[in-house]
């Protein structure tokens, strides 16, 4: 984490807050202000109630995500698929190695109360760990899994965790619970980028996110043993909370302001019994504001890669996919070679990710799919509004949707009429891309 932060600072991508900040609401408010101003990460050096600084918005930039995975001249989707394919061909034994015994001496024993207690939203039930990456092993095969789950800080010995029903960790817990056993797990905080990005990956049940992390970093992952549970964790993680999910025990958790921008109410969720906390003395705590660019950009990017893989396997001419400004939309850029190709792309996209394709828009290759204004300009100016839009009713959507608020689909073919491309060529101002505005305004 320190290396990552230092690199951001050298690039001018880090804002620093030196005055004291209250972790209850104020830290989140300043983070939102920084995000509105640009894509910089923000480091809070003086957080009341803890000796640890806090960093936020590390992953709130699409270009930064591309850099972190080594995309180079490729799109995020293309590079992510390469990494995923390499991960599926790899094995833990090939990429994991034991860290030197001296690493254990770098860590200090502590408690949850040593960590910043950040309350983000007005109605949140209390402090939450929002960048919480749980590491656990499949009870039978031993395959490790990395996944995000919001965790409410109740006491130094207890977290209450919402395990999404479709996540592998929920299946691990259910399998252990059926045997009357607790599921041991470690909560990883202050992770380096390769572990954070690997935890975002949507991999088959039998695949290992640690192998994905190794593919991203291009090297091996050094592991160290936990103190109170039978689990090894990456030595590069600066804060580790050890514990276990108790079988057949659920307690009230929430409300909490989730990624869609509203609150998820109180519900009975899993209890994580904390058995040990360790951290490096110079650790920086990662606080992620749910629903912010830092939360959405990685989710959008990996969802776009999944849509890209599926659609490009069905038809030619797929150039890129974007899921901004919200993961519930898929915007597809194509190189059109036949009439009706935009509608074919829509049909393929609808079957690619049933949770998130609430809106699908297809555009030509000259449209900036990361700019919704440009996408809507294409729809408004390149053809009819009625025949290029379709509403598909009563199609199930997001899996956690008891009131069916995310059912149905809106599909828009915003490409120009085939064979009339010359009529819709964009106007250009020669030399506009060469203007350095500061030279003209000095």
Q: Is residue 330 part of a domain?
A: yes
Instruction: Please indicate, yes or no, whether residues 259 and 324 belong to a single structural domain of this protein.
Output: no
Give the C-alpha separation, 77 to 60, whole Å. Answer: 17
- Distance, CA of 130 to CA of 55 (rounded, Å): 12
Residue range(s) defining the domain that contains residue 174: 90-280
Task: Determine, yes or no, domain membership for 72.
Answer: no
Distance CA 55, CA 42 (A): 6
Q: 43 in a domain, yes or no?
A: no
Q: Is residue 174 part of a domain?
A: yes
Residues of the chain with pLDDT under 50: none
- Residue 325: asked if its preceding bond is cis (omega within 30°), the reply is yes
Residues 207 and 309 grouped into a single domain: no
Is 167 found in the same domain as 311? no
Are both 266 and 304 inside the same structural domain?
no
Residue 424 falls inside a structural domain: no
**pTM recorded for the entire structure:** 0.91
Query: Measuring CA to CA, which residue among 87, 89, 81, 82 is closest to residue 309?
Result: 81
In this structure, the answer to whether residues 200 and 331 fall within a common structural domain is: no
**Is-contact 350 334, C-beta < 8 A?**
no
Would you state the pLDDT for residue 272?
Answer: 97
Tokens of 354: 């049933």
Query: Is 28 inside any structural domain?
Result: no
Q: What domain count does the chain have? A: 2
Nearest in space to 35 (alpha carbons), one of 10, 60, 7: 60
Domain identity same for 113 and 233: yes
CATH classification at residue 214: 2.30.110.10
Neighbours of 157 (CB within 10 A): 12
pLDDT of residue 354: 77
Q: Are residues 109 and 236 in the same domain?
A: yes
**Same domain (yes/no): 313, 367:** yes
Give the C-alpha separation, 437 to 125, whole Å.
48
Segment 316-372, tens digit of pLDDT? 999 999 998 888 899 999 999 999 999 999 999 998 877 788 999 999 999 999 999
Identify whether residues 265 and 303 lie together within a single domain: no
What pLDDT does residue 166 have? 77
Tell me which H or E stretch contains 76: helix 76-88
Domain identity same for 253 and 311: no
Q: What is the pLDDT of residue 404?
A: 85
* Residue 136 lies inside a defined structural domain of this protein: yes
Longest dimension (CA), the chain: 73
Which residues make Cβ contacts (< 8 Å) with residue 243, sequence separation at least 6? 159, 184, 185, 186, 187, 228, 229, 272, 273, 274, 275, 276
Regarding whether 180 and 224 lie in a shared domain, the answer is yes
Separation of alpha carbons 300 and 324, rounded Å: 7
Given a contact cutoff of 8 angstroms between Cβ atoms, the answer to whether 358 and 397 are in contact is yes
Tell me what pLDDT residue 258 has. 86
pLDDT at 7: 96
Q: What is the separation of C-alpha 402 from the centre of its chain, rounded to a whole number of angstroms?
A: 24
Tell me the two tokens of residue 76. 């995020």
Closest CA to 301 of 137, 25, 4, 69: 69
Residues 205 and 343 placed together within one structural domain of the fold: no
Q: The CATH number of the domain where 395 resides is what?
A: 3.40.1670.10
């Amino acid at each position: 984490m320190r290396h990552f932060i230092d690199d951001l600072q050298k690039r001018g991508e880090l804002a620093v807050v030196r005055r004291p900040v209250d972790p209850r609401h104020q830290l989140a408010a300043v983070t939102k202000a920084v995000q509105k101003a640009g894509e910089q990460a923000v480091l809070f050096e003086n957080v009341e109630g803890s000796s640890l600084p806090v960093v936020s918005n590390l992953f709130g930039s699409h270009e930064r995500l591309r850099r972190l995975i080594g995309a180079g001249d490729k799109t995020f989707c293309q590079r992510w698929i390469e990494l995923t394919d390499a991960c599926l061909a790899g094995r833990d034994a090939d990429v994991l190695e034991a860290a030197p015994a001296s690493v254990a001496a770098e860590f200090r024993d502590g408690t949850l109360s040593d960590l910043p207690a950040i309350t983000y939203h007005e109605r949140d039930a209390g402090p939450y760990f929002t960048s919480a990456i749980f590491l656990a092993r499949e009870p039978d095969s031993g395959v490790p899994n990395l996944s995000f789950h919001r965790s409410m800080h109740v006491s130094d010995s207890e977290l209450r965790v919402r395990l999404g029903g479709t996540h592998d960790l929920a299946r691990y817990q259910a399998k252990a619970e059926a045997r009357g056993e607790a599921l041991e797990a470690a909560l990883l905080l202050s992770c380096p980028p390769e572990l954070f990005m690997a935890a975002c990956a949507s991999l088959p049940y039998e695949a290992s996110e640690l192998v994905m992390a190794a593919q991203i970093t291009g090297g091996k992952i050094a592991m160290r043993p936990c103190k109170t549970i039978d689990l090894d964790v990456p030595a590069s993680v600066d804060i580790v909370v050890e514990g276990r999910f108790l079988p057949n025990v659920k307690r009230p958790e929430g409300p909490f302001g989730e990624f869609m921008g509203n609150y998820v109410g109180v519900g009975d969720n899993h209890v994580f019994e904390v058995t040990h906390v360790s951290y490096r003395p110079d650790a920086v705590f990662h606080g992620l504001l749910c629903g912010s660019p830092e939360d959405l950009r990685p989710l959008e990017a990996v969802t776009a890669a999944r849509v890209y893989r599926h659609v490009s396997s069905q038809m030619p001419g797929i150039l890129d996919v974007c899921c901004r400004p919200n993961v519930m939309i898929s915007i597809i850029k194509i190189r059109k070679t036949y009439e009706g190709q935009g509608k074919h792309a829509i049909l393929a996209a609808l079957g690619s990710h049933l949770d998130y394709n609430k809106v699908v828009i297809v555009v030509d290759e000259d449209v900036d799919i990361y700019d919704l204004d440009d996408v809507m300009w294409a729809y408004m100016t390149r053809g009819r509004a009625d025949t290029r839009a379709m509403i598909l009713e009563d199609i199930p959507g997001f899996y956690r949707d008891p009131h069916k608020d995310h059912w149905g689909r809106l599909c828009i073919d915003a490409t120009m009429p085939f064979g009339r491309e010359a009529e819709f060529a964009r106007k250009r101002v020669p030399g506009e891309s060469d203007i350095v505005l500061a030279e003209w305004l000095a």
